[in-house]
Amino acid sequence: MTAQLERRALVTGASSGIGKSTAIAFAQQGIDLALVSRNQPQLEAVADTAAAYGVKVQVYPMDLSEVHRVREAITQIVENSGFINILVNNAGMGYTKDLFDTSLTDWQRVIDLNLTSVFQCIQGVLPSMRQRRQGTIINVTSIAAHQTFPGWGAYCVSKFGLAALSKTLAAEERAHGIRVTSISPGSVNTSIWDTETVNADFDRSQMLTPEVVAQFILQAALLPEQAVIEDLILMPNAGTF
């Protein structure tokens, strides 16, 4: 394999759900990995599964909600890896509450993790990607980046913001050989529905699976360099919940 074809991916939120499935899908294609998540035991379990496919895997337990630390930490991961030419920004949180009842603390928590941490991850990898004039940044947004849902205000705002971040970044970095993809899944059957910040009762059997979403992330990463999927909406056949 030539140096130009060597791929190393940094995946956030890699301990479960879409991030875990993406890490494994990448490993199956021979892509080396740097995996980020708060949950170190689960992260190490994912790393063991991925490493079985013969790729190099490094784990970095990190709380991305501590946004003031993120850029420096991501820069260090890039230095440790030699380079990162695929960044998958997948980490995020769900949140349900009417805007009127949303506290400023909760609002900031959602924006920090779902939007600001992504911004900081991007700033951490861009210098290396610009130097190499090659890189792919894939932001996992949501159907809530295109459509608003009552009771999901802070979440929708964070995802609309992420969509705008993706489009602006694509326009700015195209001249540096960097592609930006926004992937917006509908409802996905992950542990987000079990978290204390989400109060929703949907039929999870009708949702997309993390494995399906991961396959589209993989295809976006493997496209020839002269092509890019700019914005992909991926929905369960059952429609919007």
Active-site residue set? 155
Cα separation, 91 vs 115, whole angstroms: 10
- E strand segments, 95-223: 135-140, 178-185
Mode of pairing for the β-strands spanning 57-61 and 86-89: unpaired
C-alpha–C-alpha distance, residues 97 and 72, integer Å: 33
d(CA 129, CA 177) in angstroms, rounded, equals: 8
CB neighbourhood size of 125 (10 A): 24
DSSP state of 152: B
Question: Contact, 65 vs 113, CB < 8 A?
Answer: yes
Q: How far apart are CA 46 and CA 64, in angstroms?
A: 18
